[in-house]
Chains A and B, each alone.
Chain A
Amino acid sequence: MHKKYVIAGALILAGFQAGLAQAADEAAYKAACDAAEEARKMSAELKYEWNTVAPLIEKAGAAATAGDFGKAVSLCDEARLQSEAAVAQARQQADDWRSAVVK
C-alpha cells in the first residue's frame, strides 16, 4: 500500500520536474535564438550578412520543434557568434578598404 503512494508520488514529481525543465529549456532556446536573430539583422543592415547564418537558425527551429532544445541553443549561439563576427568585419573593413586600393 505504502509502496504504491511512494511510486505515484515519485512519478508525479518526476513529471513535474520534467515539465519545469522543458519550460526552462524552451526559454533558453527562445533567448538564444532571439539574440541570434537580432545579431543577424544587424549584419544585414550593414549589408554584411553571411549566408551561413540563416541556415543555422532554420536548423535550430527544426531541432526545437523536435524537442531538442539543447541542440537548438547551440545552433543559435553559433548563428549569433557568426553574425557578431560579420558585424566586426563590416566595422573593420570600413577602415581597412582604403589601404587596399590600387594606387
Chain B
Amino acid sequence: MRKMVAAFVTAVVCTLGALMVPAASSMAEEAQSAVEQGKAIAFDRKGGNCLACHMIATGDLPGNIGPPLVAMAQRFPDKAKLRAQIWDATAINPHSAMPPFGKNRILTEEQIDLVTEFIYVQ
C-alpha cells in the first residue's frame, strides 16, 4: 500500500513538473515587456502590419494612408479609445481604410492589448 502511495505521489510530481517547464519558459517571454511584444505584432506583416499605412518610429518603409502615429498619449489620453480605434476603426468612420483588427479577428484580444501598449508610448 505504501508503495502505491509513493508511486502516486511520484506521478503527481512528474505531471506538475511537466506543466511547470513550459510555464517557466513563458515567464521568460513575459520578461520581455508588453511594449516590446506589442511592437513585434504591430510591425509583423502577417500580424498588425501597421507600417503598411502608418509612419511609426524605428519602422522601415512606412506607407502614408493613415496619419503618422506620434504623440499618441497626448492625442489619446484615454487608452480605451486608442484600443477602440484599433479594434474597429469603422465604428468611428464606416469608410475607414484601416482594417478592423478586433472585429474581423485579424488579431486576438491579447494581441490588441499588447499593440495598444506599444502605440500608446509612441
Contacts and interface: CB of A to CB of B under 8 A. Distances in A.
Chains A and B in contact, CB within 8 Å: yes
Interface of A: 78, 81-82, 85, 89, 96, 99-100
B105 A81 contact: yes
Interface of B: 94-95, 103-105
Closest 5 CB pairs of A and B: A100-B95, A82-B105, A85-B104, A96-B94, A81-B105
Nearest to A86: B104
Mostly, the A contact residues are helix
Contact of A85 (B94, B95, B105): B105
Contacts, number: 13
Mostly, the B contact residues are loop
Contacts of A81: 105
A8 to B, nearest CB: 14
A96 B103 CA distance: 17
A99 B105 contact: no
A99 B104 contact: no
Contacts of B94: 96, 99
A13 to B, nearest CB: 16
A37 B94 CA distance: 29
